[in-house]
Amino acid sequence: MSQEVLLLPGDGIGPEVTAQAARVLDWMIDHADLDLELSEALVGGAAIEATGEPLPDATLKAAREADAILLGAVGGPQWDSLPMAQRPEKGLLGLRAELDLFANLRPAILYPELADASSLKAEIVAGLDILIVRELTGGIYFGQPRGVEERNGVRTGFNTYVYSEPEIERVGRVAFETAMKRGKKLCSVDKANVLEVTVLWREVMTRLAAEYPEVELSHMYVDNAAMQLVRNPKQFDVIVTGNMFGDILSDCAAMLTGSIGMLPSASLDVNGKGMYEPVHGSAPDIAGTDQANPLATLLSVAMMLRHSLGQIDAADRLERAVQSVLAADHRTGDIAATGETVIGTQAMGDAVIAALQAQ
Ligand code: NAD
Ligand code: IPM
Ligand code: MN
């Protein structure tokens, strides 16, 4: 029986980059013996326009039934004044929560051809290969109470930063297990000098370390971690951190690789079922202009083939194709050096398919 992949294009550049993913998957179905069925559903602003809700029941049902999900991006200025619970971003957050996708893997790898696209000096980023494990269904994103209310005549906004021990432990285990398969170095990032919730975070990570004696665990405050990522990113192998710190640090890590348009991600549940998405957003400033870099999405497809669909050869093949288009100097605007020829989203999709064909 075919495996089912649900595409959720979303908003802005989301549909432009997922269209390239669909073309690549269709090519692999036709030419590489991949037995997949693709379907599509609405999420985010696109779903609000069609149904009034950012995460329609039909989408959630399709997501539960699919073997894997590929999401483009959600959000845009036209929905920014809606109440929080009705905004496009709630569609994405709802999927993560409903499917219990607590472990978000965000690899930041520098392709050697892009050393000059990074805003850091080439020698600082050469050979960079780090992985951020971001907790995705807890922390300040989901803590209660939250809101804006009048307190003593003053409008006051509040959110709650909360983690239970089991929530910390399960993402910690993913991080230690992942570190075991890589360089066996794990840095847990927190703010344990100020926030009790992260004192508990640090305690749990330290306790887990006893079960993984081969992994060298270190701890770092988040402000220092942001600085160290820019100062000397290659000191890191795996970083594990909470939801909001992971959001911020992964955009920072993206720039080490040349562009946010290069960073893929996998969001996994306890059984390895996953939703895959580029780390970037809907990029309203370039939406509809064929300028978006689709490689973060195509690399997310590779992660999906590897982690959820058991198609390791196809994943390797797609990653090799991405590498060869970069080696052949195909560049969207975000990764082009001054004076280099720039191609569009579609043309980058064409180049990857041609590279697959050439293998
Ligand atoms: P963004 O990531 O959308 O864009 C930041 C900058 O990076 C922009 O200049 C954009 O043009 C550029 N960029 C992003 N992706 C690119 C790509 N593939 N190729 C080339 N350039 C790219 O972040 P933002 O502007 O802060 O947010 C815009 C909207 O996206 C907001 O509504 C936000 O909530 C949403 N968002 C969604 C997701 C998601 O769906 N996973 C992630 C982040 C932001
Ligand atoms: C991301 C995005 C989301 C997040 C938003 C759109 C809800 O920034 O996936 O990095 O903050 O998690
Ligand atoms: Mn983000």
Residues with CB under 6 A from ligand 2: 75, 89, 92-93, 247, 279, 281
39-57 residue pLDDT tens: 999 999 999 999 999 999 9
pLDDT at 115: 87
pLDDT at 158: 98
ipTM, two decimals, is 0.98
305-339 residue pLDDT tens: 999 999 999 999 999 999 999 999 999 999 998 88
pLDDT score of 8 more than 90: yes
Cis link prior to 145 (omega < 30° from 0)? yes
Q: End-to-end alpha-carbon separation of the chain, Å? A: 27
> In the chain, what percentage of residues exceed pLDDT 90?
97
Residue 281 CB less than 6 A away from ligand 1? yes
Distance CA 272, CA 274 (A): 6
pLDDT at 313: 96
pLDDT score of 118 more than 90: no
Instruction: Label residue 283 by pLDDT band (50, 70, 90).
Output: very high
- CATH 3.90.180.10 at 1-106+261-359, yes or no: no
Distance CA 341, CA 329 (A): 8
247-263 residue pLDDT tens: 999 999 999 999 999 99
pLDDT at 197: 98
Same fold yes or no, 1-106+261-359 and 129-256: yes
Q: For the whole prediction, is pTM greater than 0.90?
A: yes
| Residue of 26, 101, 129 whose CA lies nearest to 307 | 101
pLDDT at 116: 84
pLDDT score of 119 more than 90: no
pLDDT at 63: 98
> In the chain, what percentage of residues exceed pLDDT 70?
100
Tokens linked to 12: 């802005």
Distance CA 312, CA 37 (A): 18
**What is the whole-number distance in angstroms between the Cα of residue 45 and the centre of ligand 2?**
14
Q: What residues are labeled active site? A: 141, 191, 223, 247, 251
Average pLDDT over residues 273-299: 98
Of all protein residues, whose CA lies closest to atom 36 belonging to ligand 1?
281
The annotation status of 259 as a binding-site residue, yes or no, is: no
Q: What angle do CA 111, 186, 301 make, to 5 degrees?
A: 40
Q: Where are the domains of the chain?
A: 1-106+261-359, 129-256
Domain 129-256: top CATH class:
alpha beta
**What is the whole-number distance in angstroms between the Cα of residue 115 and the centre of ligand 2?**
26
Residue 285 CB less than 6 A away from ligand 1? yes
The annotation status of 254 as a binding-site residue, yes or no, is: no
Which ligand 2 atom is nearest residue 74's CA?
6
pLDDT at 182: 98
Mutate to test the pocket of ligand 2, among 43, 71, 93, 104 (most ligand atoms within 8 A of CB): 93
186-197 residue pLDDT tens: 999 999 999 999
Ion ligand 3 — residues with CB < 5 Å: 247
**What is the whole-number distance in angstroms between the Cα of residue 279 and the centre of ligand 1?**
8
Residue 282 CB less than 6 A away from ligand 1? yes
Instruction: Label residue 157 by pLDDT band (50, 70, 90).
Output: very high
Distance CA 279, CA 300 (A): 9
pLDDT at 273: 92
